[in-house]
Amino acid sequence: MTISEPSISVEDMSVERGGHVALTGITFEVGPGTLMGILGPNGAGKSTLFEAIAGLLPVAHGSLTVRGIERNGALAYVPQRDSINWRFPATIQDVVMMGRGNNIGWFRRPSGQDREMVRSCLERVNLWDERTALVDRLSGGQRQRVFIARALAQEASIILMDEAFSGVDVAAQEDIIVVLQSLRDEGKIVIISTHDLTNIAERFDRILCINHHMCAYGPPEEAFTPEVLEELFGSHGLEFTHHHVDPHNQDEHEGHLH
């Protein structure tokens, strides 16, 4: 079976949660080699969108097409950290090996090739030396790198990370972004949701702004208009605009959003 390049195409999509419309009017396309940010306030529907893309919630209206995940496990979804049970006694290496589950099956012992894949993935995120550490003792940044390594072990072509920077310090965020940008450069689709305006412009190729409906989609310099930011964040968005967006100086806009 030929595996197509990864892509996500959404047309006028609405998604319901608990009998209520949580998202409506969402339209965008994203192709291989894209690092995309989903921006919106808390409760805007970012997790709902991810769950729809991951196939965990049905589409109530419109269409959603995800390609390039014909092989089992080719889409990796990392939910918000508050929804993950961190108390199970697993090591970093154990968690990353779970990413091989769709490849090796749950009833066969990992092969030498599987172990080498896990080692390679952990080395890529600089966690091989800490492989025996328990995940419940890791920092927020380390945990996110563990899940990136698991997605790599899963050989995912599409990676969804919900609030990936929540509880992660600035230095750790930069380490994570470097890894994700390298995955983007390999042709993968990487999508991160966030409610944090800082450091947005230089991080992502495309931005989808949502607040229960689509407010804007495109390159950051096009998506971040004063009107959109006010719709997303009210007076805080306007304050951000006044301090960081100069419509007469796009270079300054792109270079000083931090």
**8 A C-beta contact, residue 32 and residue 187:** yes
Residue type for position 150: R
153 is a domain residue: yes
CATH of the domain at 144: 3.40.50.300
Question: In this structure, is residue 210 part of a structural domain?
Answer: yes
Higher model confidence: residue 107 or residue 64?
64
Range of the domain at 183: 7-252
Task: Classify the C-alpha dihedral 192-82-139-117 as positive or negative.
Answer: negative
Look at residue 256 in the predicted model and tell me its pLDDT. Answer: 33
In a domain, 30, yes or no: yes
- Range scoring the smallest mean pLDDT among 25-34, 77-86, 114-123: 77-86
Q: Which residue has the higher pLDDT, 152 or 200?
A: 152
Task: Give the pLDDT score at 24.
Answer: 97
Q: How many domains does the chain have?
A: 1
Whole-number pLDDT of residue 240: 57
Does 81 reside within a domain? yes
Domain membership of residue 2 (yes or no) is no
CA distance 165 to 161: 9
pLDDT band at 112 (very low <50, low <70, confident <90, very high): confident
Buried b (16+ CB within 10 A) or exposed e, 185-210: eeebbbbbbbbebebbbebbbbbbbb
- The percentage of the chain sitting over the pLDDT mark of 70, rounded to a whole number, equals 81
pLDDT at residue 250 tops 60: no
Q: Which pLDDT score is estimated for 50?
A: 96
- 257 lies in some domain: no
Give the type of residue at 174: E
Are 164 and 79 contacting, i.e. CB atoms less than 8 angstroms apart? no
Confidence of residue 224 (pLDDT cuts 50, 70, 90): confident
**Where is pLDDT greater, at 100 or 92?**
92
Inter-axis angle of helices 140-153 and 112-124, nearest 10:
140
Window from 50-59, 138-147, 185-194 with minimum mean pLDDT = 138-147
User: Residue 90 has what pLDDT?
Assistant: 87
Helix (H) or strand (E) segment spanning residue 44:
none
Q: Is the pLDDT of residue 82 over 60?
A: no
- For residue 229, what pLDDT band results from cuts at 50, 70 and 90? confident
Strand 206-210 versus strand 34-39 pairing type:
parallel
Exposure on the CB side of residue 76, measured as CA atoms within 13 A: 27
Q: Can you give the pLDDT at residue 96?
A: 92
Determine the pLDDT at residue 246: 46
Q: Is residue 89 part of a domain?
A: yes
pLDDT in tens, 190-223: 999 987 776 666 789 999 999 999 999 999 889 9
Q: Tell me if 258 is assigned to some domain.
A: no
Q: Going along the chain, which residue ranges are E strands?
A: 7-17, 20-30, 34-39, 59-67, 75-78, 158-161, 189-194, 206-210, 214-218
Question: Does residue 37 register a pLDDT over 90?
Answer: yes
